[in-house]
A = this chain, B = another copy of it.
Amino acid sequence: MLKRIIIISILVFESMSMLFAEDGSKLWLRAKTDANSQVTANKQSPTIDVAIKELQTQWKGAPVQLNISQTKTTAALGEDGFIISGDNSKRITVESSAEQGLLYGAYHLLRLQECNAVPATLNIQESPSYSIRILNHWDGFGYSGGMMGMGSFWKPDELPDKIPEFYTQYARANASIGINATVLNIVPGPAELLTAQWLEKVKAIADFLRPYHIKVYLAPNFATPKLLGELTTADPLDKEVQKWWNDKVTEIYKYIPDFGGFLMKANSEGTSGPRDYGRTHLDGANMMADALATHKGVLMWRAFVYDPNETDRAKQAYLEFQPNDGKFRPNVIIQVKNGPVDFQPREPISPLFGAVQKTPVMIEYEIMQEYLGATNHIAYLGTTFEECLDTDTYARGEGSTVAKTTDGTLFGHKLTAISGVANHVANADNWCGHVFAQANWYVFGRLAWNNQLSAQDIATEWVKQTFTTDEAFVLPVVDLMMRSREAEVDFMMPLGLHHLFACGHHYGPEPWCDEHEPGWRPDWKPSYYHRADAAGIGYDRTVTGSNAVEQYFPPLRESYGNINTCDERFLLWFHHASWTHKMKSGRTLWDELCYRYDRGVQEVRDFQKTWDRMEKYVDSERFAHVQAKLQIQAHDAVWWRDACILYFQTFSNMPIPYNLERPTTDLETLMKISINPFN
């Protein structure tokens, strides 16, 4: 946790300013607001007012009628769903059983318009894949004076009396892609988060976001009653503790009657939790869920837990949660990171997907690029999200994709959710520090709405809205985006390598980092994961090793477990392979490793060429911004390649294939590079 907080604070350096210029602050909401469209509605509400206003000022097509209507179809689509029908030369109707459906329908129309894709005759029915589509802000909200140098983008000092102006754009951006929930603070918050002083601020935010149909959640500290000094324990089986939480939740709902619920990080990376009292995650979760249930609140309990004494960190979430499947209260959702470790450039899916069936499981994606170049790299994560969603868990035979194990299709849960970790939204003019990082926010929302959309189609939508619909721009830039994450994997951690990051930060490589500081946990060190030695490299997670493969359903278990059938993208995740292991390319593992690292570098250089060609299609500000960022990315790619190849070469003792570009620095120099996150 600490590690994570630190990296956030050093990566967010841009000053906050909300000028709506060509600085990227407009996000994908760049439609001209000079329309004067005829928009009517059969009901009135603050949410319907938002829908009307958006269409009136931006919609250039036929007059639009917004109707709340209780039909069989609208009922089937749910309160978030909508129908769009009509003829764009005459009249268009948006129907829904609830006000938010009309809001999403309005944004859908505007998206079609900005993508030049409004059909003459409209016949659209949409409803979301998940009922809760939530951002997890890793934000200092709740900490008086900020937390370890990280402030809060909510500008809490101005609340509750004044609502910062940029909230409007934040709310519009989320609503436009269907995001309907937000956790205001980083997991876990401080004790004071749940005091009246802060709850008044939470109420102000919730009141502002309500018309945009965005519910507010909090991530409190499990030990809050004890930390506030109101109780001597936070033991979940203690009656006083249970009462405290019941009372506290009731108090919260007095401020915010439609409060969403809690996101909990407990007994993870040193945080407090039920284990402090000899209790289980189940005990802790059910106690809090009971407190929330009275008010229809939801508890999202994170499965990101691991213990330094366990053998294989990748196995631990499964071991902790799977055996308790079915024992959680109905308002509990287990929130599971897409992979078993921690948002690495590429991971196999978490084995919990499909394995927990009686309790709803939600995916936790990371929108911000904590491990993918932070605000400096183009790394379009649509492909990462899609790769996870489309992976077959085989939980109930072929076709049991992660999408189906989480969206209610396979196990019939009504309570479904998906979350995206975002920190720097709004911390910079362009919200994310990199214009292209906005695409990760966008694609998260769009996939949360419809988990069957393709990453490429969403990238295309985003590019058209954010830059231009000119195909001469759209095609190469979407192509670049679609290749961007694979390039990061290549130059950082190809073939299943993971966690080669510096111990002190998550930006650069330190595969050699074994001794960061006294007491640094083995499972925070790269060598724990790469296990390079004279014989080979990789983590043996087969039966001869930690046997993590056992946590997957057949036939994944068998295919991952066999070095000859294992998907090479995960080779070194599951196997300690010999340096001379023959790859499908015909190369040795060592040569292939070198080849992949270099391919990543060449890819980024190619992105630079592509972008430079785009100058005439982009305003000069964003052109220069992306150009400069790509320069950093090209630098970093070489840094990663050289550091990893030269370090692993000390084990392989094999030459870098001679047709590849040579390292530009020696290992000794690279090992001296230090980014001090505390400065």
Contact B635 A605 (CB under 8 A): no
- Whether A608 and B655, one on each chain, are in contact in the complex, defined by CB atoms closer than 8 angstroms, is no
- Are B631 and A664 in contact, with the CB atoms below 8 A? yes
Does A615 have its Cβ within 8 Å of any Cβ on chain B? yes
Determine the interface band of chain A, counting residues with CB < 8 A from chain B. 20 to 34
CB contact list, A592-641 vs B, under 8 A = 605, 608-609, 611-613, 615, 627-628, 630-631, 634-635
Neighbouring B residues of A247 by C-beta, 8 Å: none
Determine the chain B residues whose CB is within 8 A of the CB of A658 once the complex forms. 609, 612-613
Question: Does B666 contact A634, Cβ atoms closer than 8 Å?
Answer: no
Known interface pairs A615-B655, A655-B615; A663-B631 also in contact (CB < 8 Å):
yes
Give residues 343-382 of A contacting B (CB, 8 Å).
none
With a cutoff of 8 Å between Cβ atoms, the chain B residues found around residue A635 in the complex are 664-665
User: Contacts of A630 on B, CB cut-off 8 Å?
Assistant: 662
Would A662 and B613 count as touching, CB distance under 8 A? no
- A656 on the interface (CB 8 Å rule)? yes
Say yes or no: B656 contacts A605, CB within 8 Å: no
Which residues does chain B contribute within 8 Å of A665, judged by CB atoms? Answer: 631, 635
Is there contact, CB below 8 Å, between B659 and A609? Answer: yes
Residues of chain A touching chain B, judged by Cβ–Cβ distance below 8 Å, are 605, 608-609, 611-613, 615, 627-628, 630-631, 634-635, 655-656, 658-666
Ranked nearest first, the 4 interchain pairs of A and B with the lowest CB-CB distance are A608-B662, A613-B658, A634-B664, A628-B666
Residue picked from A605, A612, A631, A664, most chain B C-beta under 10 Å: A664
Identity of the chain B residue whose Cβ is nearest the Cβ of A660 in the assembled complex? B609
> Measured between alpha carbons, how far is A658 from B613 in the docked complex, in Å?
7
Q: Which residue of chain B lies nearest to A662 when distances are taken between CB atoms in the complex?
A: B608
Nearest-neighbour CB distance to chain B for A557, whole angstroms, equals 42
Which B residues touch A605, using CB under 8 A?
Answer: 661-662
Residues of B within 8 A of A631 (CB): 662-666
B662 and A612 contacting across the interface, CB-CB below 8 Å: yes
CB-CB under 8 A from A655, the residues of chain B are 612-613, 615
Task: Identify the closest chain B residue to A656 (Cβ).
Answer: B612
Given contacts A609-B659, A613-B658, 8 further A-B contacts (CB under 8 A): A608-B661, A611-B662, A612-B656, A612-B658, A613-B655, A627-B662, A631-B662, A631-B663
- Chain B nearest CB, measured from A254 CB (Å): 54
Chain B residues near A627 (CB, 8 Å)? 662, 666
State how many angstroms separate the Cβ of A551 from the closest Cβ of chain B.
Answer: 43
- Which B residues touch A666, using CB under 8 A? 627-628, 631
Which residue of chain B has the shortest Cβ distance to A608 in the bound complex?
B662
How close is A647's CB to chain B, nearest CB, in angstroms? 15
The residues of B that contact A615 with a CB separation of less than 8 Å are 655
Roughly how many angstroms separate A628 CA and B611 CA in the complex, as a whole number?
33
Q: Smallest CB-CB separation from A661: which chain B residue?
A: B605
Interfacial chain B residues near A660, Cβ < 8 Å: 609
In the complex, A615 Cα to B615 Cα: how many Å?
44
CA distance A666 to B656 in the complex (A): 30
A388 to chain B, nearest CB (A): 32
A646: min CB distance to chain B, Å: 10
A634 touches B608 (CB 8 A): no
Bound-complex Cα distance A47 to B609 (A): 64
A608 to B663, CA, bound (A): 8
A176 CB to nearest chain B CB (Å): 33
CA distance A59 to B396 in the complex (A): 84
Cα of A630 to Cα of B605 in the assembled complex, Å = 21
- A179–B630 alpha-carbon span in the complex (Å): 52
Distance to closest chain B CB from A160 (angstroms): 42
A634 to B627, CA, bound (A): 22
Complex Cα spacing A456 to B609, Å:
37
Distance in Å from the Cβ of A671 to the closest Cβ of chain B?
14
* Complex: chain B residue closest to A628, CB-CB: B666
Distance to closest chain B CB from A168 (angstroms):
34
Nearest CB in chain B: distance from A620 CB, A = 12
Min CB distance A663 to B, Å, is 6
Cα-based distance from A662 to B663 in the complex (angstroms) = 18
Can you identify 13 A-B contacts, CB atoms within 8 angstroms?
A605-B662, A609-B658, A609-B661, A611-B662, A612-B656, A612-B662, A613-B655, A627-B662, A628-B666, A630-B662, A631-B663, A634-B662, A635-B665
Chain B residues closer than 8 Å to A664, beta-carbon distance = 631, 634-635
A659 — which chain B residues lie within 8 A by C-beta? 609
What is the bound-complex CA distance between A635 and B662, given in angstroms? 11
CB distance from A36 to the nearest CB of B (A): 41
Nearest CB of B to A195, in Å = 46
For A634, list chain B residues within 8 Å (CB): 662, 664
Which chain B residues lie closer than 8 Å to A612 at the CB level? Answer: 655-656, 658, 662
Q: Which residues of B contact A608 (CB under 8 A)?
A: 661-662
Question: CA–CA, A635 to B655, complex, Å?
Answer: 21
Min CB distance, A241 to chain B, in Å? 55
In the assembled complex, the Cα of A627 lies from the Cα of B608 at a distance in Å of 28
Question: Closest CB of chain B to A626's CB: distance in Å?
Answer: 12
For the complex, what is the distance from the CA of A605 to the CA of B658, rounded to whole Å?
Answer: 11
Residues of B within 8 A of A613 (CB): 655, 658
Closest Cβ of chain B: how far from A662's Cβ, in Å?
3
Q: Report the minimum CB–CB distance from A507 to chain B (whole Å).
A: 17
Measured in the bound complex, the distance between the Cα atoms of B606 and A662 in whole Å is 8
Closest CB-CB distance, A424 to chain B, in whole Å?
A: 22
CB-based nearest B residue for A637: B664
A661 partner residues in chain B, CB cutoff 8 A: 605, 608-609
Within the assembled complex, what's the spacing in Å between the Cα atoms of A661 and B611? 12
Please measure, in the bound complex, the distance between the C-alpha atom of A600 and the C-alpha atom of B612, giving whole angstroms: 21
